[in-house]
A and B are shown apart, each in its own frame.
Chain A
Amino acid sequence: MFAEIGYGILAITFVIALYSVGAAIYGDRKKSSAIVESARRAMLLTWPLISLSAGTLIYLLITNHFEVSFVYEVTSRSMPTYLKVTAWWGGQAGSLVFWSWLMSAFASLVTLRKWDRDREFLPWVIVITSITTAFFLGLVIFYANPFTRFWQSLDGKIVTSMFAPLNAIAFFPQDGRGLNPLLRHPGMIIHPPLLYLGFVSFVIPYAFAMAALITGRTDDRWIRLTRRWTLWAWLFLSLGLVVGGRWAYDVLGWGGYWGWDPVEIAAFMPWLTGTAFLHSVMIQEKRGLLKHWNMILIILTYALVLFGTFLTRSGVLSSVHAFAQSAIGPAFFVFIGATFITSIALVIYRWPELRSETEMKSMLSREALFLLNNLLFMSILVVSFWGVIFPLISELTTGQKITVGPPFYERATGPLFAGLMFLMGIAPLSAWGNSTIFTLGRALWKSAVAALLIAVFLFFTATKNILALVGFFLIAFVLLVTLVEFWRTARARQKTQNENFFAALLNLIGRNRRRHGGYIIHLSMMLMAIGILGIEVFQVQTQGTIAVGQSLSLSGYSIQFKSLASWDDTPKGVNYTRAVVDIYKDGTFLGQLAPRKDYYFDSQQNMTIPGVRSTLKDDVYVLLVDWQPASANGATFKVFVNPLVNWLWIGTIVFLFGILIAAWPEREADYALAHSKNKAYEPSSAD
């Protein structure tokens, strides 16, 4: 009964979402605010309704209703309740419900704001967000229904369908198959929600952009209205990516966090356009340039959000033919195509009105450098997109399956990332409007020389690797430029305002949070770059089979095998095999690690849990690969030493801090205006 209720509610919500689309368009054409209000209220209904339906799905999940095929696929009796709840997004059908639920939540949030000055946008924001919600609800209702059940016909065949087929009785499996053990890790529990939050919140700036195009109010109002949404979207998407990487590092057992897998790239591509968008909207706000380009960027981001969901959900990656067989693939394809073409058509229609208000004055001005930044982000996008798409094209045209793996991406994107780092170093010191090679050079040369000295020092003490040296030079350069900028402006404020240095620094950040939040994010990116460079260039590994008492050694570390135990945890349905190893560095005992292999009976899958000793300098990462069950005296270990990788996670925390500074709601505008009179110090290139 619950299954019917859940499904029924979704079907009703689908109709309501379509109604709100229709009513909003009709209300706008008839200039009737009452009809638009009706559309808004209809849209506000979708979230409680989807919540109710999701509630029934969660109820089915936690009460072991295995006659529902989705429940059977993602849960089992041995799973704890919290995992049964999170299994909601552990499978295709459930995750699409989750997507629509988040989408309607964000759409509701945005329509709850005061619309006084932006009435004309409202109907079109409703249209865009409701169409997106309706599309995902439609997928759930027609193609990937989480409420279908098992039925047994008279001849014993078991089928799944929503409603009872003729002459069939309900079939109740004893137990479910259980969630893929890899998805039971905390990282995988929060990774999809973060990613989806990032995805759906990017729909909001897109909806406003479309509203601006349709209504013809093409000034930068839509950008100002959605600035904070964009930042939050970017925060969630970035965190989603990092948490996904951390999850891979902790459970996938290959000693890394990022493998240029198409599924990873699917989430990375909207991040690239989103990041380019974050930067280039500033040019429009400050200088009234690049209006076309910002529209195109947000349209691309929306398309890539859908495309990313499509890549991971349609099965197209395992084979183009799987895509053709799944009903969901073509539906996605049509929707992405239709929204993309319509959006681009709108941009072309409004092309003359989107002309720039001012001229670009210098090739070294901040806006010109931002454009270069956009070019680099787009280039990384082109490489990523083509690397994901080409195997599909190859399979379609020649039937030959090929792999485009990490070497391709690393070679192609390495120089582009280096270019971005270089820009991160020089752009903050260039001025809006005008900069010359002399003004820039004067501001930069000290930091550049200091960074060069650091690189030379590293050459003589640490590494002769040219790639690493270039990387560390760039990192040092950006860190120095940014820190010096903080120091310089805080000192200036300290002098004029008679504050102590830290008060001056805090006030400075508070006065222009977007700018300084951005700088802190740049700093965090450099900390992450230290980690990435460390593991990319200096990772070493070894593997060997050793008996108890013997050791493996790797770059100064020695890993001694102490013991191995294997036992069943019947209530949990898991068999654990756990090895204990001692870690020594140059003969000094450092501690014990316990790499594990967990075997899950319900899903018949292994999960490899590494033993990791993590320091700022490096991670010792030990995996239990294999063992001799009979004698239990020999086991195979794989050991990685991952230098500097911890800086990646440290950088993430700094990143979070920076983006909170940039995105936290401002004080009331009027209040800020009243206080802006005592502008004793303001940098020349404000913001």
Chain B
Amino acid sequence: MRRPAGLSGVYFEDRFNYDSLRDVLRQVMAGAENTTEHGMWSHEMKNQLRVMLYTLTIALILAALWVVKASAQNPTPTDDEVNRIAHQLYCPVCENTPLDFCPTEACRQWRDLIRQQLSQGWTEDQIKQYFAEQYGARVLAEPPRTGLNWLVYILPPVIILAGAFLLFRMLRAWTKPPAASSAAGSAKEAAQDDYVARLEEELKKRK
């Protein structure tokens, strides 16, 4: 958690100290300006309290502005905004049908739900997660990267790389024939082989 600068001290020590916070709040509620059960408020403490209150107020105003701005931008989400998200989701009933063009009544309702969620300021990820939790991972265009599902992503590259490696090895073995093997056959055999090979070639051409 990132700490706002002016708030270190009494109740922000190394971690958030709820007990001190409760104490401070109790003091504020009681309207104790000068006295507490713990004794006098130090000047320093009062300053810190003021800073905290100002910061809180500003944060609240900012948050309110952000919400207002978001809803002003999105009075009712357009079809395109809905479809952009619906396109990444799959109909939970029909197989392999993206939600944005699925013609069923259920999907129409799901699209309306997305519209509602958008107008409430939900983000794309929140909506996707909501659908995944409600209807299972099958509504996502790709399996979530967890557990067994990793196999989907890992196996093809592993097989392809293995294939490429094998092919490379084979090619290298072929293009650099070991010198020993050519010496193995007797000269006569080699000559005969040559002859047979040529005969085969000729026959092939005639076929």
Q: Which residue of B lies closest to A416 (CB)?
A: B160
B171 contacts A by Cβ under 8 Å: yes
Asked if A386 meets B152 with Cβ closer than 8 Å, knowing A262-B96, A371-B171, A405-B96, the reply is yes
Q: Are B164 and A375 in contact, with the CB atoms below 8 A?
A: yes
B58 contacts A by Cβ under 8 Å: no
A78 contacts B by Cβ under 8 Å: no
Q: Are B159 and A382 in contact, with the CB atoms below 8 A?
A: yes
Q: Are A360 and B171 in contact, with the CB atoms below 8 A?
A: yes
User: Using Cβ atoms and an 8 Å threshold, which residues of chain B touch A394?
Assistant: 143, 148-149
User: Using Cβ atoms and an 8 Å threshold, which residues of chain A touch B156?
Assistant: 379, 382-383, 386, 412
Asked if A400 meets B171 with Cβ closer than 8 Å, knowing A406-B141, A407-B142, the reply is no
User: Using Cβ atoms and an 8 Å threshold, which residues of chain B touch A363?
Assistant: 171-172, 175
| A231–B140 alpha-carbon span in the complex (Å) | 39
B103 contacts A by Cβ under 8 Å: yes
A669 contacts B by Cβ under 8 Å: yes
Q: How far is the CB of B204 from the nearest CB of chain A, in Å? A: 8
Interface size grouping (class) on chain B = 35 or more
User: Using Cβ atoms and an 8 Å threshold, which residues of chain B touch A606?
Assistant: 103
Query: Quick one: CB contact mask for A258-270 with B, threshold 8 Å, 1 for yes?
Result: 0101100000000
B120 contacts A by Cβ under 8 Å: no
Q: Are B163 and A405 in contact, with the CB atoms below 8 A?
A: no
Taking a contact as CB atoms closer than 8 A, the residue among B149, B172, B175, B177 that contacts A402 in the complex is B149
User: Using Cβ atoms and an 8 Å threshold, which residues of chain A touch B204?
Assistant: 220, 285
Q: How far is the CB of A266 from the nearest CB of chain B, in Å? A: 12
| A318–B171 alpha-carbon span in the complex (Å) | 43
Report the stretch among B1-9, B22-30, B78-86 that lies at the interface. B78-86
A545 contacts B by Cβ under 8 Å: yes
Q: How far is the CB of A130 from the nearest CB of chain B, in Å? A: 27
| A241–B172 alpha-carbon span in the complex (Å) | 37
Report the stretch among A345-353, A505-513, A518-526, A536-544 that lies at the interface. A536-544
Q: Which of A249-283 contact B (CB under 8 A)?
A: 253-254, 259, 261-262
Q: How far is the CB of A599 from the nearest CB of chain B, in Å? A: 11
Asked if A375 meets B163 with Cβ closer than 8 Å, knowing A386-B152, A403-B143, A404-B143, the reply is yes
Q: How far is the CB of A79 from the nearest CB of chain B, in Å? A: 22
A368 contacts B by Cβ under 8 Å: yes
User: Using Cβ atoms and an 8 Å threshold, which residues of chain A touch B164?
Assistant: 375
| A430–B198 alpha-carbon span in the complex (Å) | 24
Q: How far is the CB of A320 from the nearest CB of chain B, in Å? A: 12
Q: Which of A325-368 contact B (CB under 8 A)?
A: 357, 359-363, 368
Q: Which residue of A lies closest to B80 (CB)?
A: A542
Q: Which residue of B lies closest to A255 (CB)?
A: B101
Query: In terms of DSSP, what is the predominant structure of the interface of chain B?
Result: helix
| A406–B200 alpha-carbon span in the complex (Å) | 49
Query: Quick one: CB contact mask for B62-81 with A, threshold 8 Å, 1 for yes?
Result: 00000000000000001110
A408 contacts B by Cβ under 8 Å: yes
B197 contacts A by Cβ under 8 Å: yes
Q: How far is the CB of B76 from the nearest CB of chain A, in Å? A: 11
User: Using Cβ atoms and an 8 Å threshold, which residues of chain A touch B149?
Assistant: 394, 402
Q: How far is the CB of A521 from the nearest CB of chain B, in Å? A: 24
Q: Are A543 and B141 in contact, with the CB atoms below 8 A?
A: no
Query: Quick one: CB contact mask for A369-380 with B, threshold 8 Å, 1 for yes?
Result: 001100100110
Q: Are A636 and B171 in contact, with the CB atoms below 8 A?
A: no
Q: How far is the CB of B86 from the nearest CB of chain A, in Å? A: 10
Q: How far is the CB of A539 from the nearest CB of chain B, in Å? A: 11
Asked if A360 meets B148 with Cβ closer than 8 Å, knowing A406-B141, A412-B156, the reply is no
Q: Are A390 and B152 in contact, with the CB atoms below 8 A?
A: yes
Q: Are A403 and B80 in contact, with the CB atoms below 8 A?
A: no
Asked if A543 meets B139 with Cβ closer than 8 Å, knowing A259-B96, A318-B95, A383-B156, the reply is no
Q: How far is the CB of B28 from the nearest CB of chain A, in Å? A: 51
Q: How far is the CB of A463 from the nearest CB of chain B, in Å? A: 21
Q: How far is the CB of B142 from the nearest CB of chain A, in Å? A: 5
Taking a contact as CB atoms closer than 8 A, the residue among B136, B138, B163, B207 that contacts A379 in the complex is B163
Q: Are B143 and A361 in contact, with the CB atoms below 8 A?
A: no
B187 contacts A by Cβ under 8 Å: no
Q: Are B141 and A382 in contact, with the CB atoms below 8 A?
A: no
B151 contacts A by Cβ under 8 Å: yes
User: Using Cβ atoms and an 8 Å threshold, which residues of chain B touch A360?
Assistant: 171, 174-175
| A357–B194 alpha-carbon span in the complex (Å) | 11
B53 contacts A by Cβ under 8 Å: no
Number of interface residues of A (CB under 8 A): 53
A498 contacts B by Cβ under 8 Å: no
Q: Which residue of A lies closest to B82 (CB)?
A: A543
Taking a contact as CB atoms closer than 8 A, the residue among B136, B138, B140, B206 that contacts A673 in the complex is B206
A317 contacts B by Cβ under 8 Å: yes
User: Using Cβ atoms and an 8 Å threshold, which residues of chain A touch B172?
Assistant: 363
Query: Quick one: CB contact mask for B166-207 with A, threshold 8 Å, 1 for yes?
Result: 010001101101000000000000000000010010001011
Taking a contact as CB atoms closer than 8 A, the residue among A368, A378, A544 that contacts B171 in the complex is A368
Asked if A359 meets B143 with Cβ closer than 8 Å, knowing A261-B96, A394-B148, A398-B148, the reply is no
User: Using Cβ atoms and an 8 Å threshold, which residues of chain A touch B148?
Assistant: 394, 397-398
Taking a contact as CB atoms closer than 8 A, the residue among A221, A361, A372, A541 that contacts B175 in the complex is A361
A224 contacts B by Cβ under 8 Å: yes
User: Using Cβ atoms and an 8 Å threshold, which residues of chain A touch B98?
Assistant: 254, 259, 405
Taking a contact as CB atoms closer than 8 A, the residue among B79, B141, B206 that contacts A405 in the complex is B141
Q: Are B79 and A543 in contact, with the CB atoms below 8 A?
A: yes
A387 contacts B by Cβ under 8 Å: yes
Q: Which of B91-113 contact A (CB under 8 A)?
A: 95-96, 98, 100-101, 103
Q: Are A386 and B155 in contact, with the CB atoms below 8 A?
A: yes
Q: Are B80 and A402 in contact, with the CB atoms below 8 A?
A: no
Q: Which residue of A lies closest to B92 (CB)?
A: A401
Q: Are B177 and A359 in contact, with the CB atoms below 8 A?
A: yes
| A589–B43 alpha-carbon span in the complex (Å) | 77
B137 contacts A by Cβ under 8 Å: yes
User: Using Cβ atoms and an 8 Å threshold, which residues of chain A touch B207?
Assistant: 221, 224, 669
User: Using Cβ atoms and an 8 Å threshold, which residues of chain B touch A253?
Assistant: 101, 103
Q: How far is the CB of A249 from the nearest CB of chain B, in Å? A: 13
Asked if A359 meets B80 with Cβ closer than 8 Å, knowing A394-B143, A397-B148, A403-B139, the reply is no
Q: Are A401 and B136 in contact, with the CB atoms below 8 A?
A: yes
Q: Are A403 and B142 in contact, with the CB atoms below 8 A?
A: yes
Q: Which of A539-561 contact B (CB under 8 A)?
A: 541-545
Q: How far is the CB of A493 from the nearest CB of chain B, in Å? A: 21
| A383–B156 alpha-carbon span in the complex (Å) | 6
| A324–B206 alpha-carbon span in the complex (Å) | 54
Q: Which residue of A lies closest to B160 (CB)?
A: A379
User: Using Cβ atoms and an 8 Å threshold, which residues of chain A touch B143?
Assistant: 390, 394, 402-404
**Residue with the greatest number of chain A CB neighbours at <10 A, chosen from B98, B152, B172, B177:** B152
User: Using Cβ atoms and an 8 Å threshold, which residues of chain B touch A608?
Assistant: 103
Q: Which residue of B lies closest to A384 (CB)?
A: B156
User: Using Cβ atoms and an 8 Å threshold, which residues of chain B touch A636?
Assistant: 79
| Interchain residue pairs A-B with the least CB separation, the first 5 | A405-B141, A360-B174, A543-B79, A401-B138, A402-B143
A-to-B contact residues, CB < 8 Å: 219-221, 224, 253-254, 259, 261-262, 285, 317-318, 357, 359-363, 368, 371-372, 375, 378-379, 382-383, 386-387, 390, 394, 397-398, 400-408, 412, 541-545, 606, 608, 636, 638, 669, 673
Besides A219-B200, A375-B160, A402-B138, 6 new A-B residue pairs in contact (Cβ under 8 A), listed by A number: A360-B174, A383-B160, A390-B143, A394-B143, A405-B141, A608-B103
Listed by A's residue number, 6 A-B pairs whose Cβ atoms lie within 8 Å are: A221-B207, A285-B204, A357-B197, A371-B167, A403-B90, A408-B142
